[in-house]
Structure 1
Amino acid sequence: MTEISKLAAAFAPHEELAAALLPHAFAADDGSHDAAHLIRVWKNAARIQAEEGSEARLLAAAVLLHDCVSVEKNSPLRTQASRLAAEKATGILKDLGWGTDEIAAVAHAILTHSFSANIPPETLEAKILQDADRLDAIGMVGAARCFYIAGRMGSGLYDPLDPLAEARALDDKAFAIDHFETKLFRLADGFKTEAGRRLAHEREQRLRDVLAMMLDEI
């Protein structure tokens, strides 16, 4: 069994679709947007979809391809990442013989999932993908990803003289824990589904606990 086949099994009951899409789906050198991220987002999406409904095949394709174009967090193209991914996904699904309406639905979900793009999701699949992806940015995994990305970007963990930015401007490009306030704590209130909102508030509390424990230690 190949590595792709093993990974595809995590996307049951859409293993065949996953096997076709995974070779195009993620950047191998980015541990915050890798196969593990896709699997977590799929688990989040499936959990929300079980309560909210939606077309599962379209949702699976959108999850699998939502990060198919890799753009670093500090790139000037960051706000265009979801548009670029939607365009690439459109071509991939065309090559697989998908219909125009299905492709448009998947592309819309990918386009609107991004916080940076700031485009409202209009379909249930798009709302679920956005919620599922944002769930991976908060909670324990969200904290781990935040510190991982900070290291990747060459940022410090915190300002040693003013970790809570009480007498300075927040700067999440310089200090990892500044990102908690500039973005991560803002995510929970923007969830689009009832199931997603419930999960988000649980995970946000975990994220706040991580910050509180870190502040206690420093």
Structure 2
Amino acid sequence: MDRKKDQLQTIRDYVFELFHNDATGHDYYHMERVARMAKTIAEKEGADSFICETAAWLHDIGDKKLFTNPEQARNEMDDILTKIEIDRNSIELIYEAIKDVSFSKGKTPATLAGEIVQDADRLDAIGAIGISRVFAYGGTKEQLIYHDENPENTSIQHFYDKLLKLKNLMNTPTAIKIAQERHAFMEAYLDQFFREWKD
């Protein structure tokens, strides 16, 4: 048990070094929240919490939105996991859990661990924090908050393109329940946003 705790601490430190200065909403604290949520869901759904938590910490490493050299980032991740003596079978399970997490891939992961990490990541994209992350990311891309004549290329449009769809794309009963409240909060936020926009 202590060994796994030490391994997770090394992974946390590694992730902190990579993401602590990120301003897009994919920062260290995003990884921390996703890891914590993945562990919680894993415990409720009877999955391997170590695999789920580790995969959640690492799920954005190699993402082409965040890394100029994704392959190099993934190779460095592999070196770290090998160095801290996570066995190769567990490493492969971690990679399998990460593989299809991304919304843009449009896939349901093949394993329960993958479903859990995907759920945890998607839960962090909705609700109050999800709203904050939309505008953080939009700001880094010089995207307008909203525009009456050209709404398609705005941060508000992202709610309709992705975030409002996530409630119905959750995999596990635990995540489905959590998503209901966060989805309702986003709907209330958008109602208020458009009331204020038109005042």
Question: TM-score category by the smaller chain?
Answer: 0.7 to 0.9
Distance 2:89 2:163 in 1: 34
Distance 1:85 1:41 in 2: 20
Per-residue deviation, 1:27: 2.2
Which is richer in helix? 2
Describe the shift of the 1:134–1:124 C-alpha distance in structure 2 as closer, same or farther (beyond 3 A): same
CA contact (8 A) 2:36 2:53 kept: no
Give the AA of the match of 2:20: A
Quick one: which of 136, 143, 153 aligns to 1:148?
136
2:33 is aligned with 1:29: no
Give the AA of the match of 1:205: A
CA contact (8 A) 1:48 1:195 kept: yes
Partner of 2:171: 192
2:162 is aligned with 1:183: yes
Per-residue deviation, 1:89: 3.4
CA contact (8 A) 1:127 1:192 kept: yes
1:125-136 equivalences in 2 (<5 Å): 125-136=113-124
Give the AA of the match of 2:96: H
Partner of 2:56: 63
Quick one: which of 70, 94, 97 aligns to 1:109?
97
Moved over 4 A (4+): 12-15, 83-88
Specify which structure has the bigger relative contact order, considering alpha-carbon pairs within 8 angstroms and separated by 6 or more residues.
2
Distance 2:159 2:56 in 1: 25
Tell me the matched-pair count: 193
2:39 is aligned with 1:46: yes
Describe the shift of the 1:86–1:198 C-alpha distance in structure 2 as closer, same or farther (beyond 3 A): farther
TM-score (norm. length: structure 1) = 0.78
Q: Where does the alignment leave 5 or more consecutive residues of structure 2 unmatched?
A: none
Per-residue deviation, 1:14: 5.7
Distance 2:108 2:149 in 1: 39
Taking only aligned residues, the RMSD between alpha carbons, in angstroms, comes to: 2.6
SS of the aligned residue for 2:103 comes to: coil
Q: Alpha-carbon deviations, 1:111-170, whole Å to 9, x = none?
A: 12111233321211111100001000001111110011111100000013465xxxxxxx
- Quote the sequence identity (%): 28
Per-residue deviation, 1:88: 4.6
TM-score (norm. length: structure 2) = 0.85
